[in-house]
Amino acid sequence: MNINSLSLVNYRNFEDLELEFISKINCFIGNNGVGKTNILDSIYYLSFCKSWLNPIDSQNINYEHDFFLIKGNYMFDEKTTSISCGLKKGKKKSFKRNNKEYTKLSDHIGLIPLVTISPYDTNLLLGGSEERRKFLDIVISQFDKDYLQDLLKYNRVLSQRNHLLKQFAQNHSFDSDSLEIWDDQLVLYGTNIFNKRQEFIDKLIPIFQKYYQFISPEKEKIDLKYRSQLTGSDFAEILKQNTERDKILQYTTTGIHKDDLIFQLKGFPLKKNASQGQQKSYLIAIKLAQFDYIKNISKIKPILLFDDIFDKLDALRVEQIVKLVAGDHFGQIFITDTNKERLERILNKIAINYKLFRINDELLVSEKKFD
């Protein structure tokens, strides 16, 4: 599965752009601020029905216009498929496959597998636990609709339970039967989610470790752990044990909404003990493991978007990463960078077909293909 061509009309800083891609490596070179990331964002949009840069759709319309249009032509099993999205200010966006509009955008998710690696992903390593839960939920729910439904139901029940706890405090009352109704549902959905998160992480860890050891010249000991209050415990029992605490605090203190991923380097927390290069290598290894997980489930090689990820990495690590993804195990790749000489030197060294797009400050795009 590849994207053969992309058309942008009034999307972010591009008023009119037509691009054709090759099936392996496509590189966008230019100064910061010329819109390299916006091109990758539009490819992401066609996979996930939204921007990864700005979730507010209307703000992705070029400021001089009142609509945008993104269109990509994809090759699936030697058949061309057209995916397009149009949005006019004040109107509902229209998302189409082969000119037929989707009634539910969720029906499109998973059709075009895609993995991004960008500076924005550092929140996964350095941000709060909600960032890591979001990572788990996005990856798993793409291909497991039951997981997504359980997650939506869990969050709804959690909100109702918290509302009830606040009512108890306001009314100076307590009704265990009312609370138990929500507890039973929370346990049902929460246990399902916990089991699937645990299964996902168990599959991810060995792949992640393999990729990190390949990328990193130091071969440091790294670890990734799933931390949950449900590990080795009965969720229903945990809720009962914490009922008094929940009544005092007026919210639910235990459950899968408290889950986290623990990242370690040499036995210590990654965020406090790793260099920027080590953090980037760690992140890239996680994302490449995500690639493998999706590939194994979907039987499709996801598109890979590398957005400005080589900054702060030494030349050896960059070469190792490019050499790795240039292999047959991976599919179509899009790379943005400001350092044309470094990228070309590495690509020429590993003798891989690539196409180079140069974007200047006037947003003029020139292209060159290297076979």
170-216 tens-digit pLDDT: 999 999 999 999 999 999 999 999 999 999 999 999 999 999 999 88
Contact partners, residue 115, CB within 8 Å, separation at least 6: 287, 288, 290, 291, 294, 302, 303, 304, 305
Cβ 239 vs Cβ 308: under 8 Å: no
- Which two three-digit tokens encode residue 27? 């590189």
Give the separation between CA 260 and CA 227, rounded to whole angstroms. 5
The Cα–Cα gap between 323 and 315 comes to 12
How far, in Å, CA of 111 to CA of 47, rounded? 7
Most confident of 58-62, 215-219, 341-345: 58-62
Please say if the pLDDT value at position 218 is more than 90.
no
Record the tokens describing residue 184, joined without a space: 């039973």
pLDDT on residue 363: 64
CA distance 199 to 228: 13
Among 128, 200, 191, which residue's Cα sits nearest to residue 154?
A: 191
Which CATH code of 2.60.40.2550, 3.90.78.10, 1.20.58.340, 1.20.1050.90 fits the domain covering 127-298? 1.20.1050.90
Mean per-residue pLDDT of the chain: 93
Note the pLDDT tens digit of each residue in 286-320.
Answer: 999 999 999 999 999 999 999 998 887 888 888 88
Domain(s) labelled CATH 1.20.1050.90 in the chain stretch across 127-298
- Predicted pLDDT of residue 153: 98
**SS3 per-residue string spanning the chain:** CEEEEEEEEEECCEEEEEEECCCCEEEEECCCCCCHHHHHHHHHHHHHCCCCCCCCHHHHECCCCCEEEEEEEEEECCEEEEEEEEEECCCCCEEEECCEECCCHHHCCCCCCEEEECHHHHHHHHCCHHHHHHHHHHHHHHHCHHHHHHHHHHHHHHHHHHHHHHHHHHHCCCCHHHHHHHHHHHHHHHHHHHHHHHHHHHHHHHHHHHHHHHHCCCCCCEEEEEECCCCCCCHHHHHHHCHHHHHHHCCCCCCHHHCEEEEEECCEEHHHHCCHHHHHHHHHHHHHHHHHHHHHHHCCCCEEEEECCCCCCCHHHHHHHHHHHCCCCCCCEEEEECCHHHHHHHHHHCCCCEEEEEECCCCCEEEEEEC
**Among the listed residues 353, 280, 294, the one whose alpha carbon sits nearest the alpha carbon of residue 47:** 294
What gap in Å lies between CA 127 and CA 154, rounded to an integer?
23
Rounded to a whole number of angstroms, the CA Rg of the chain reads 23
Q: How confident is the model at residue 369 (pLDDT cuts 50, 70, 90)?
A: confident
Intervals of CATH 3.40.50.300 along the chain: 1-113+300-371
Residue 101, strand partner residues: 96
Model pLDDT, residue 309: 87
The CATH number of the structural domain formed by 1-113+300-371 is 3.40.50.300
Between 371 and 336, where is the model more confident? 336
| pLDDT value at residue 371 | 65
User: Under 8 Å CB-to-CB from 325, ≥6 apart: which residues?
Assistant: 25, 288, 304, 306, 333
Taking phi over 0 as left and psi of -120 to 50 as alpha, with beta for the rest, 158 belongs to alpha
Q: What is the pLDDT of residues 239-281, one digit of tens each?
A: 999 999 999 999 999 999 999 999 999 999 998 889 888 899 9
pLDDT of residue 156: 98
Question: Which pLDDT value is given to residue 313?
Answer: 82
With a cut of 90, say whether residue 219 has pLDDT above it.
no
Task: Write the pLDDT tens digit of every residue in 124-167.
Answer: 999 999 999 999 999 999 899 999 999 999 999 999 999 999 99
Please report which confidence band the pLDDT of residue 120 belongs to, taking 50, 70 and 90 as the band edges: confident
Q: List, in sequence order, every residue forming a beta bridge with 19; answer none if it has no partner.
A: 6
Q: How confident is the model at residue 11 (pLDDT cuts 50, 70, 90)?
A: very high
> Is-contact 242 236, C-beta < 8 A?
no
